[in-house]
Chains A and B, each alone.
Chain A
């Protein structure tokens, strides 16, 4: 409070800032609520996508176990290592209420049996099923990566917005209001002091005037 200049100009500036902060607070509150609603929707989708990925993981695990059992550990390992194909995808950006989230555009991961790096005669369909299950799992993982990043960024933004709303609501606006109150009080105090000072001057001047008049009357009576 000590640094605040208790001037009318300062009070006007402060009142303007309080008005702006209150409007900003209302807007941020709306943004927070909007983000939370968006987050809830995406969370449902995320639960579904992650659940799907877990199912696909279990299926892939099941299939690879059977492939290992029937075609042998070495066959499975060599098929896995010889697979040179890497999943291709492009990342674009999407804006959700000012939050930039990624959109992963995936290219087809699933390949035909003839395009894979193992022989058909020397292997069984268990290997095909294991490879297909893992191809689906990679696709699901990319989908989860997209939605998980979106959820993470939304959470960060909600958190940041919440902090801003709370800071405005419980710290910035009350401290500015306090300052405005202080300035108002100071200005009123100054006004009161002035009035008293003026009154004192006036009474002194009146006393002087009365004294002067009394002296003149005394002089006139003596003459």
Chain B
């Protein structure tokens, strides 16, 4: 089970090859100077060609790019799972279970918003515990049946509250379940420790974003604490309670010293702060991945970079389609 020594060398070698196909940072500038059609043509010359070709008979415009990127991300993650084995595969699989939460939330939101099933299907990234066919069968059912389908899973108890409590609380709870399952593992060996620490740092990042987002909006401390994910690396519930009780200026000052807070200035637009935090996170992962090259860290680093690449391309695609100025699009890119 988890914690067995995996054969990282093989998997990391495969991931390194995949990493070479990532779009280099300098290419984003080129993409910014292209129009939407040129961007699609550019993507057709990269590893996204297959997905764009597959979906172009059904969709056009930014939706084509959006859905093609989701499909590509799913395939890339699936590929990593396929090439991995043993305990490594189990760890990667645990990591990818976050997409179950993403898919469940997307289906629930889609159902409540009367989104057509085909459109919901295109946004699925079924690389977690549940298969694509399972999700495909869910999108055509009603909400009660969807909840019943998760009977005997850790998500059932929370999902059964749909309709009784706001969806926002259910969404947050589902993520807490995902993270708590991983943080409850007590690492017995190095590989597992790297993985759990990675997740705990990710929790820190989510928590600090939550605290700052809500604090900027002057939400009471208790309410902020209720949204905190337990098990952070430096930012657990008690620490978060302390920070949430401070005034905003004090909070920002006291963030100095945390691993994720380095030369970050608070701006009017919090999304820019989020981008800086994400960039900081990626730098941290890259540093640790270089330090421990034969571990799960290079794999997680690649998966995070791939997700960032997809997000960046999506921002460029939608931004160009809607005619946003290049500076606005550029501000929203996470370039590491």
* Tally of contacts, chain A with chain B, CB under 8 A: 136
Closest residue of chain B to A112, judged by CB?
Answer: B217
Report the stretch among B34-42, B83-91, B112-120 that lies at the interface.
Answer: B112-120
Q: Restricting to A69-118, which residues have a CB under 8 Å from any CB of B?
A: 69-70, 72-75, 77-82, 112-114, 116-118
Q: B175 in the interface, Cβ–Cβ < 8 Å? A: yes
Residues of B within 8 A of A61 (CB): 322
Report the stretch among A4-12, A122-130, A157-165 that lies at the interface.
Answer: A122-130
Q: A153 in the interface, Cβ–Cβ < 8 Å? A: no
Q: Is the CB of B168 within 8 A of A118?
A: yes
Q: Restricting to B161-176, which residues have a CB under 8 Å from any CB of A?
A: 166-172, 174-176
Q: A65-B322, A121-B171 are in contact. Are A129 and B271 (CB under 8 A)?
A: yes
Q: How far is the CB of A74 from chain B (nearest CB, A)?
A: 5
Which A residues have a C-beta under 8 Å from some C-beta of B?
A: 61-62, 65-66, 68-70, 72-75, 77-82, 112-114, 116-126, 128-129
- Give chain B's interface secondary structure class: helix
Q: A66-B271, A112-B219, A118-B167 are in contact. Are A73 and B113 (CB under 8 A)?
A: no
Q: Is the CB of B219 within 8 A of A113?
A: yes
Residues of A within 8 A of B273 (CB): 125
Q: Is the CB of B168 within 8 A of A66?
A: no
Q: Is the CB of B210 within 8 A of A129?
A: no
Q: How far is the CB of B97 from chain A (nearest CB, A)?
A: 15
Among candidates B112, B210, B274, B322, residue contacting A78 with C-beta atoms closer than 8 Å: B112
Residues of B within 8 A of A78 (CB): 109-110, 112-113, 115, 167
Residues of A within 8 A of B136 (CB): none
Q: Is the CB of A66 within 8 A of B227?
A: no
30 sampled A-B residue pairs with Cβ under 8 A: A61-B322, A66-B318, A69-B311, A72-B66, A72-B106, A73-B119, A74-B110, A75-B105, A75-B106, A77-B109, A78-B109, A78-B167, A80-B113, A81-B112, A81-B113, A82-B167, A114-B219, A114-B227, A117-B168, A119-B167, A119-B169, A119-B171, A121-B176, A121-B210, A121-B229, A122-B105, A122-B174, A125-B213, A126-B271, A128-B217
